[in-house]
Amino acid sequence: MAVSEQVIATAQQLDTLSINTIRTLAIDAVQQANSGHPGAPMGLAPVAYCLWQEFLRYDPADPTWMNRDRFVLSNGHASMLLYALLYLAEVRQVNEHGEITKELAISLEEIKRFRQLGSRTPGHPESHLASGIETTTGPLGQGLGNSVGMAIGSKWMAATFNRPGFEIFDYNVYAICSDGDLMEGIGGEAASLAGHLKLSNLCWIYDHNSVTLDGPASWSFSEDVATRFMGYEWNVTRVVDANDLEMLARAFHVFQNTHDRPTLIIVDSHIGYGSPHRQDTNAAHGEPLGEEEVRLTKKFYGWPEDAKFLVPDGVREHFREGVGKRGRDLHGEWSKTFAEYSQKFPELAERLHHMQSRELPAGWDKNLPVFPADAKGVATRESSAKVLNALAQNIPWLIGGAADLATSNKTTLKFEGAGYFDAKDYAGRNLHFGIREHVMAASVNGLIVSKIRAFGSTFFNFSDYMRPSMRLAALMEIPSIFVFTHDSIGLGEDGPTHQPIEQLASLRAMPNMIVLRPGDANEVVEAWKIIAQLKHTPVSLVLTRQNVPTFDRSKYAPATGVAKGAYVLADSSGKPDVILMGTGSEVSLCIDAYEKLKSEGIKARVVSMPSWEIFEEQDAAYKESVLPRDVKARVSVEMAATLGWERYVGPKGRMLGMHRFGASAPLKDVLKFFGFTVDHVVAEARAALSTN
């Protein structure tokens, strides 16, 4: 055999050995956990191997490199595929201070602890647990939505920061997806938006294995995916055998040479590929193989049948010489360019530093509006628009948009140079998401993990369309911004289909989600100050369509109390007889009722509670100062489901809220019909006093 033939043969052997290492690590981890999905990692191992080893621009020694390619495993049930890759590529763990450590993000011990309590290897990948996991996936379609946000982020970063001779950003985004990802509605939303924006840096790899958890995909899925994606204006190519590394490489080259649209690579694979016994069966997809099947499968691979978690000599070294060396070299060249760039464009380099560490620039809160007292007032969506525009001018990486409702949500950035992000201008800071709430939220998460501060906006009732992405933002501990307007029955004629009732209670039930419902224009200012400083927590900002009075802060307490979640807005001298509590537009009702009670000689206190979550973080002494235990007469006022207010009003308190869906009628009629009047609040206060 000639030398060149020997080299080729050796390389092919290493390829096969590496692929089978990925497969057997997945098999052994799932078998040991007695839980999980071995089939997808087995079938996809050659695909992921080819991508990582030959194409992915990624430095395992620094998983925070700004210009790294992003890899998203949208079919998160195949998590062992990603864990095996992170281990074999020797990706380093980054600590909570952003420092790269010598520790592996995923060690072999962590793989052995797959799906166990406290491990970095849960059933579906979680980005806050281990470096190298770009985003948390599992609910199908979410990773695809995130990948669109990441691709938007790459285009925006390139258009914003690149300069002639200095191509600082040009990274690609790769996402592996399944039949299920493409069945989910968010998959269609994401593909539609990406095609419209001509995101040529986005590559989806569709694992076409024709199997779902229920059984054959043909039971529920028969569309022509290729034709569908061509309709979305994607480039579509196909690899008919997932084991064909040469054809896979050709497909990735096609993607890299396509500059006017995103690319879908359809890869035909088999669940549990390689095992002649369990191909195309549900068991290989959603269950451990079983000891006997494990031995047979390993025998088929030419693997020691009784070996567990075997990583043969040469495999990690092979990854080191592949993705490791290529990533190190590319990163090194980039670092030299960036060092020169930093000298020529120090302000831009400093901006990038702030973004990477989620720090705010100097003067981020300058020129924020101050709203004078005004009985007629202004809608909090209107005051929010003024604050948002001021903040966005101070924070150049604050970008976002709405689901076709920017004019209603007042979220358009209107200052000079803000521009609109589209296929002709990727530097614009206003995003048109179209009527695609679900992928808007997922894209915002993708932008946030790309270290761009992003917001998405729609009517509060349509937060229901966004909930899976909002929940994942909370789980990932990222500061996504969700702006909601038309926050109650106060929007009147649109009626119960558009009037939120249960949304406040449900979002308050979500761990690590801050809900902010400011009561007037100056509370809006303080709310946005809180939002700007968040680093690990998403926020839902809930705003009115209708005008609300701007309180006279020389008469009532300053709005800075918002920083503590709840504060005493108006008080009596001495111990109050009754406490009136409210959020949003209902705070003004409490104030008017307070003044009426005061005129009758009843000592009342008004507590504005824009954020329960922040209030609960305060110490016991502060909470007692706002809501003293010995004042039992309490009334909550909120145009929403009353669920949760029990903790604040107590067993003898009163809760004025909604106990049914709303109604379509003019605002005044709706408010009167449901009892949101000053007289009714006063009556509830008297009722609370009479029972205490």
Cα–Cα distance list, 170 to 49, 102, 140, 196, 258 (Å): 22, 28, 27, 20, 14
Rounded-to-integer distance, Cα 530 and Cα 559, Å: 12
Of 352, 301, 380, residue with least CA distance to 583: 380
Q: Tell me if 454 sits within 8 A of 447, measured CB to CB.
A: yes
CB atoms within 10 A of CB 231: 12
Rounded-to-integer distance, Cα 601 and Cα 487, Å: 34
Helix (H) or strand (E) holding 669: helix 667-673
Q: Tell me if 129 sits within 8 A of 136, measured CB to CB.
A: no
* DSSP-derived pairing of the beta strands 420-421 and 430-432: parallel
**Structure token pair of residue 335:** 């670092």
Rounded-to-integer distance, Cα 22 and Cα 13, Å: 14
CA 431 from centre of chain? 16
Rounded-to-integer distance, Cα 340 and Cα 208, Å: 45
Of 570, 529, 522, 517, residue with least CA distance to 550: 522
Q: Tell me if 216 sits within 8 A of 222, measured CB to CB.
A: no
Q: Tell me if 18 sits within 8 A of 59, measured CB to CB.
A: no
CA 448, 609, 623 angle in degrees (round to 5)? 105
Rounded-to-integer distance, Cα 73 and Cα 255, Å: 18
Rounded-to-integer distance, Cα 567 and Cα 623, Å: 9
- As a three-state string, the secondary structure of 553-579 is CCCCCCHHHHHHCCEEEECCCCCCCEE
Of 516, 481, 514, residue with least CA distance to 610: 516
Burial of 379 (0-12, 13-18, 19+ CB in 10 A): buried
Q: Is 109 a catalytic residue?
A: no
Radius of gyration of the chain (CA): 28
Catalytic residue among 110, 437, 523, 613: 437
Cα–Cα distance list, 426 to 80, 156, 349, 654 (Å): 35, 5, 19, 53
Q: Tell me if 544 sits within 8 A of 487, measured CB to CB.
A: yes
Burial of 292 (0-12, 13-18, 19+ CB in 10 A): exposed
Rounded-to-integer distance, Cα 256 and Cα 259, Å: 8
Q: What is the DSSP letter of 425?
A: B
Question: End-to-end alpha-carbon separation of the chain, Å?
Answer: 97
Q: CB neighbours of 135 closer than 8 A, spacing ≥ 6?
A: 72, 127, 142, 143, 146, 150, 445, 446, 449, 476
With H, G, I as helix, E, B as strand and everything else as coil, classify residue 602.
coil
Amino acid letter, 284: A
Cα–Cα distance list, 209 to 31, 143, 267 (Å): 22, 19, 8
Helix (H) or strand (E) holding 541: strand 539-542
Helix pair 185-196, 437-449: axis angle to 10 deg = 70
| β-pair partners for 453 | 398
**Structure token pair of residue 616:** 């609960």
CA 127, 132, 133 angle in degrees (round to 5)? 30
* Active site positions, annotated: 437
